[in-house]
Each structure stands twice: as structure tokens, then as C-alpha cells.
Amino acid sequence: MALENIKLIKKAEDETNDKIKSAQLQAKEIVRNADISAANLYKDLIQKAKESCNGIMAAADAEAKNEAKPVFEQGRMEVQKIAGMEDSKINDAVSIVIGRIVRNNGNS
């Protein structure tokens, strides 16, 4: 009877150890799967953030170009005006500017 009880206890201990080992393996598998899921989620979040950033940058670029367009057009028209002036008018303008600089700064 005592030997039978010892065998039953030994069997219960072996089964318990097997269940502990199985639980440890399952825990490791769960942690490994969680790490993989976290890495994939991180990649997805980074990708979405980059896409969002690119969209915002494209919108800002388009808005900046729209705001700059009239300024560039105005500058182009002014350049065409100056390019179309007669040489005598340009020389007169240069003389006026030089005269103002000399008058403000002395004999520079």
C-alpha cells in the first residue's frame, strides 16, 4: 500500500512537472508572439505617420507655391518693365540712386 501511494505521488509529481514545463513553453510562445505583434504594430504606426507627414508636406508645399505665385509674377512683370526701358532712363535711375547713396553716406 505504501509503495502504491509513493508511486501515485511520484506520478502526480511527474504530471505536475510536465504541466509546468508545458506552461513555461506556452508562456515563452505567448511572449514571442506578443513581441512580433508589437514590432508589426510599430512598423504600421511608423508607416502611417510617414504617409501623414508626406501628405501634410505636400499640402504645405502646394499652399506655399500658390502664395508665392503672385509674388513671382509681379517680380517677372517688373523685370520685363526694367528690361524694356531705354538705356537713358536706366542711366538716369542709376544716377539718382548713386546720388542718394553719396548724399546719405558722404563720399563713399
pLDDT, residue 74, reads 92
pLDDT score at 92? 80
Over residues 7-13, the mean pLDDT reads: 93
The percent of residues in the chain predicted with pLDDT above 70, rounded, is 95
Average pLDDT on 44-55 reads: 97
Q: HEC profile for 8-33?
A: HHHHHHHHHHHHHHHHHHHHHHHHHH
85 pLDDT above the threshold of 80: no
80 closest CA partner among 92, 72, 69: 72
Whole-angstrom Cα distance, residue 28 to residue 38? 15
| Residue 107 pLDDT level (bands cut at 50, 70, 90) | low
Q: Is pLDDT above 70 for 108?
A: no
Tens digits of residue pLDDT in 55-81: 999 999 999 999 999 999 998 888 888
